[in-house]
Structure 1
Amino acid sequence: MKVILSQDVKSLGKTGDVVEVAEGYGRNYLLPRGLAAEASKGAIAQLGQQRAAAAKREASALADAEALAQRIADAKIAVPAKAGGNGKLFGAVTNADIAEALQRELAVDVDKHKIEIKAQIKALGSYPVEIKLHRNVTAKGTVSVVAA
């Protein structure tokens, strides 16, 4: 019997896959537990429409992420921080500070966990950062730490 998986099943496949299983396995295990649905013509057609819509959303998200990556690469992001006379900071600039600066200067809401700093920022100056915007898009930008 053919079924459409509703959830990932370890030995069969991922959500949305159409797989051939034994009659008893499908009727007695997969269907009652909600792990799969019978693969009728209508269900397969609906699955095709869902996949097409998901592909369209994914393409749109990728295009948005690439545009945002270009904006971040072109922008000058300034992060104000308290510093002593010799240019050393009182503390360090964190991912949260950079996310806040992005929100303030570019009106872009970025999760602080998606910002990657190569080394701790403990002095005034310019530093490279990478921001993971999408599974396939990473923005590279420069953050300037200025005295507050």
Structure 2
Amino acid sequence: MKIILTHEVSGLGTPGDVVEVKNGYGRNYLLPQGFAMPWSKGAEKQVTVIKRARESREIRDLGQATEVRGQLENLRVGMKARAGDGGRLFGSITAAEVVEAVTAAGGPTLDRRRLEMPGAIKSLGNYQVSVKLHPEVTAKFTLDVTKSK
């Protein structure tokens, strides 16, 4: 089965790639989850739009990745969240909220799918969050979750 990936799938490819997969894997997993769309001549035009959007988000080269890593590692990101008396949050901190906090703290714009968080953040405290900027470069920064009034 020939499909076009719309999301990054580890071991398979990145958005915009046209790949050949087994029928069951494509029909039962990739298509229902929204990770891919069926290949057709009309969909081939959408591939260029997906690739153009991906290129605008991606970090171009190793030099730019190390520059962004330097910015992130010197950055102290703080977030305020609603919490109970024991320090347990009402809900949890998502990757999208972390990306917004990094941007608000004066850091670079990141892709939420590149974040590697230490499980679900459900309590107050400091957390180490890593970001895969480039296949060879990973940056780490500290996220400080405090109680909002």
The TM tier, using the shorter chain, reads: 0.5 to 0.7
Q: Aligned residue for 1:85? A: 85
User: d(CA) in 1 for partners of 2:106 and 2:62?
Assistant: 19
Q: Aligned residue for 1:132? A: 132
Q: State the structure with more CA Rg.
A: 1
Cα shift readout 1:70-107 (whole Å, capped 9, x = no counterpart): 22111111122111121110000111111011111124
User: d(CA) in 2 for partners of 1:117 and 1:82?
Assistant: 20
Corresponding residue pairs, total: 90
- Output the amino acid matched with 1:90: F
Indicate conservation of the 8 Å contact 2:72/2:107, yes or no.
Answer: no
TM-score by length of structure 2 reads 0.56
The runs of at least 4 consecutive aligned structure 1 residues that moved more than 4 Å come to: none
Structure 2 residue ranges without an equivalent (≥5): 1-59
User: d(CA) in 1 for partners of 2:108 and 2:80?
Assistant: 18
TM-score by length of structure 1 reads 0.57
Structure 1 residue ranges without an equivalent (≥5): 1-59
User: d(CA) in 1 for partners of 2:109 and 2:74?
Assistant: 17
Residues 95-110 of structure 1 correspond to what in structure 2 (within 5 A)?
Answer: 95-110=95-110
Q: Aligned residue for 2:147? A: 147
CA RMSD of aligned residues (A): 1.7
